[in-house]
Amino acid sequence: MRYFSTRNKNESAGFAGAALAGLAPDGGLFVPEEIPRYRAAVKNALGDMDFCDIAFETIRLYTGDEIPGAALEDIVHSAYPFGAPLLGVGGRLVLELFHGPTAAFKDFGARFMARAFAYLRRGEEKPLRILVATSGDTGGAVADGFFEVPGIFVTVLYPRGRVTPLQERQIAGLGGNISALAVEGSFDDCQRLVKAALADEGLKKETALSSANSINISRLIPQAVYYAAAAGRAFAGRADADGEATPRVKGFAGTVKDTRLGLRKGEAAVFCVPSGNFGNLTAGLYAMKMGAPVKQFIAATNINKTVPDYLASGEYTVRASRATISNAMDVGAPSNFERMAAHFSWEEMKRIILGVSVSDNETKETIARVRREAGYFLDPHSAVGWKGTDKLFAENKIAAGPVGILSTAHPAKFSETVKPLAGSAPVPAALERAMERTVNAQTIPAETGALLDAIRRL
């Protein structure tokens, strides 16, 4: 499998080269020369396969012989001692993506990436510096995934004052080979600084650099796995039992059997994706093209609605991001849109993706209502997805069949927002441990020079 830059097809690399570089030399994002297809036997068995088996069958199509089968088996089993249960909640499906160590969907990409990097760099003496920009959950997942990985140092940039106290402790509380920079600006500023540093010729001569944002293909590909697993389960007419971290109030049944959104064997699902930087939705599009039974996607954003506006008009206009209570989605210039545009025209995107935006007031109302009516806690990002689905149903825009909301983070990560609206969500043990950490971060202005100076001092 070869990977090409979104900006120049003459810039290409294998999986290892694309993953370890992060960005293409011309500043573009690496995309596969073609999106591979599942073998018929795999496609037909998705509803019955173990999550790690689906991960192996999905990822190997992108890594080829650069990670041999036995090594890849070890990597996926080490990365995923947890899964992604598909549950019935209040008459629809919820795909819970927060059963990993940092209670957010970013664990799926970050844990694979860390283990893949360790394998690909085996025997390498020169240390690698990974730079990552985060609006909340990415930084914590990358920090946890790479913590104490030999020969790799991670620097996380996050917008000062725009992440929750828990997120900040996950980002800046580990120490060791993980350092944190609090940027006086927005996530878009953090993302811009990372891209500038990765492109700086002087810095590249001094140290090996890479990125762990979803701009890195090795972090994006594993996210296709949970779409394939969930779509397979839904197509087989099945849902899962609650997991250990499921935030359901005891005594609520939570069933989908008696509604028009119910599971019916042989029907492809619609997935609603709370969207910010659009890496998650891009991974879903990959899974769909690979053959997973997905009928349609909903891109649900907060008021930072660059992509929904593009889907409606065909005009892509970057905007400055605005702060909301769903802070991980506060992105005005989503990086992965460049990948989406490389694979799909506007007309194709319009057929596959429905765009919708949700206000903070609507998000708050949804958190309270779902807790009251369904006995289930939503975090602010998942609530955007739930409300966005409500709005599109009211407009009769969603295709018939089962509808799944991606629940991207555990509500206990956002207790400052959730508790006044819905009461206290149960707290997973991993989050209780994270809250005991002390924040250790350096504050820098949103200037490339300041970032370069900080990296050189680390």
348 contact partners, CB below 8 Å, separation of at least 6 = none
Domains of the chain: 83-104+219-427 (3.40.50.1100)
- Which tens digits make up the pLDDT trace of 196-212? 999 899 998 998 888 88
**For residue 170, how many C-alpha atoms fall within 13 Å in the half-sphere facing its CB?**
26
Q: Give percent of the chain with pLDDT exceeding 90.
A: 81
Alpha helices of 269-378 — where are they, by DSSP H?
279-290, 306-313, 337-343, 346-352, 360-374
- Which tens digits make up the pLDDT trace of 339-354? 999 999 999 999 999 9
275 contact partners, CB below 8 Å, separation of at least 6 = 281, 299, 300, 301, 307, 329, 334
37: number of Cβ within 10 Å = 12
Helices (H) and strands (E) in the chain, counts: 20, 14
- Which tens digits make up the pLDDT trace of 373-409? 999 999 999 999 999 999 999 999 998 889 999 999 9
pTM of the model: 0.90
Range from 106-110, 156-160, 213-217, 336-340 carrying the lowest mean pLDDT: 213-217
Rounded CA gap, 11 and 24, in Å?
A: 7
22: number of Cβ within 10 Å = 24
Q: Nearest CA to 383 among 261, 300, 303, 296?
A: 300
Crossing angle (nearest 10°) for helices 51-63 and 223-235: 130
User: Residue 341: what pLDDT?
Assistant: 96
Angle at 145 between CA 219 and CA 150, to 5 degrees: 110
Residue 197: what residue type?
Answer: A
Highest mean pLDDT among 139-148, 253-262, 286-295: 286-295
Which of residues 163 and 55 earns the better pLDDT score? 55
Which of residues 379 and 149 earns the better pLDDT score? 379
